Chain A
Amino acid sequence: EAGVAQSPRYKIIEKRQSVAFWCNPISGHATLYWYQQILGQGPKLLIQFQNNGVVDDSQLPKDRFSAERLKGVDSTLKIQPAKLEDSAVYLCASSLSAGSLLYEQYFGPGTRLTVT
């Protein structure tokens, strides 16, 4: 079974530029998550999708971050404009369903973003 795919793996941009990350979840997983992980910290949930609807985006800085999952499969996370403090690893995860007993999330390799 293929895992969660993410691209790119690494990205370096200057502040005020824009950047986009892509995620393809495990086939059949209805729930998709985007996390931000700053060095030395645990993952912070940015947004959670159930199919193509947003379940939780309470910690997404909506003035600069946006995400979509138009067809309920793959997803894109965008930052525009980027700030220095956005330097982090952006992790995508998927699970069968947030409400199901099989709640464990499976993570992709992440995208390491450096904003200079």
Chain B
Amino acid sequence: AQKVTQAQTEISVVEKEDVTLDCVYETRDTTYYLFWYKQPPSGELVFLIRRNSFDEQNEISGRYSWNFQKSTSSFNFTITASQVVDSAVYFCALKPDAGNNRKLIWGLGTSLAVNP
């Protein structure tokens, strides 16, 4: 079965706190891609990161960092020193079997509220 689970439905933090959004995936494919998207209140889904199954190196981009662990099938997303502008719904997605036309499998999203 192909599945993405984002167990945290809603998270509320105070500005400047660090926050981690969890993503656990299931796939039998050895080759796959994982993605994170941000959906602010305006509604537009914004691409944040793509990671392929052969690259377990963690990535940092400014205040954002991602921790990919194949051993636990997780691809967690951490925002350091959160800001009000980070308030959004964050989606994790899986594309099984990279290289063909298989569709993205989406998690249900985690709604993050960063309060001043």
CB distance from B112 to the nearest CB of A (A): 15
The main secondary structure of chain A at its interface with chain B is loop
Segment of B66-74, B75-83, B100-108 engaged in the interface with chain A: B100-108
Interface presence of B99 (CB below 8 A): yes
Are A101 and B43 CB-contacts (below 8 A) given A41-B108, A42-B109, A43-B106? no
Q: Which of B45, B46, B47, B107 has the most A CB atoms < 10 Å from its CB?
A: B45
Which listed segment binds B: A48-56, A62-70, A76-84?
A48-56
CA distance A107 to B45 in the complex (A): 6
B107 touches A109 (CB 8 A): no
Taking residues whose C-beta sits less than 8 angstroms from the other chain, chain B's interface range is 20 to 34
Tell me how far the C-beta of A104 lies from the nearest C-beta in chain B, rounded to whole angstroms: 5
Tell whether B64 is near chain A: CB-to-CB under 8 Å: no
Q: Cβ of A103 and Cβ of B46 under 8 Å apart?
A: no
Q: A42-B107, A42-B108 are known contacts. Are A99 and B45 too (CB-CB below 8 A)?
A: no
Are B35 and A110 touching (Cβ within 8 A)? no
Give the tally of cross-chain contacts (CB within 8 A).
53
- For A41, the chain B residues whose CB sits under 8 A away are 108-109
Q: Are A56 and B103 in contact (CB under 8 A)?
A: yes
Q: SS class of chain B's interface: helix, strand, loop or mixed?
A: loop
Cα of A59 to Cα of B44 in the assembled complex, Å: 22
Decide if A93 touches B43 in the complex (CB within 8 Å).
Answer: no
Chain A 74-116 interface 0/1 with B at a Cβ cutoff of 8 Å (1 = within)? 0000000000000001010100001101011111111010000
Instruction: Determine if A103 and B98 form an interchain contact, defined as CB atoms under 8 angstroms apart.
Output: yes
In contact, B33 and A91 (Cβ under 8 angstroms): no
CB closest chain-A residue, reference B4: A42
Contact of B44 among A55, A103, A108 (CB under 8 A): A108
Asked if A19 is an interface residue, CB under 8 A from chain B, the answer is no
Is A45 in contact with chain B by the CB < 8 A criterion? yes
**Assuming the A-B contacts A42-B109, A104-B35, are A112 and B104 also in contact, with contact meaning beta carbons closer than 8 angstroms in the complex?**
no
- Seen from chain A, the residues whose Cβ lies within 8 Å of a Cβ on chain B are 40-43, 45, 48, 50, 55-56, 89, 91, 93, 98-99, 101, 103-110, 112
Give 7 CB contacts A-B under 8 Å.
A42-B108, A43-B45, A45-B104, A55-B101, A93-B45, A109-B43, A110-B44
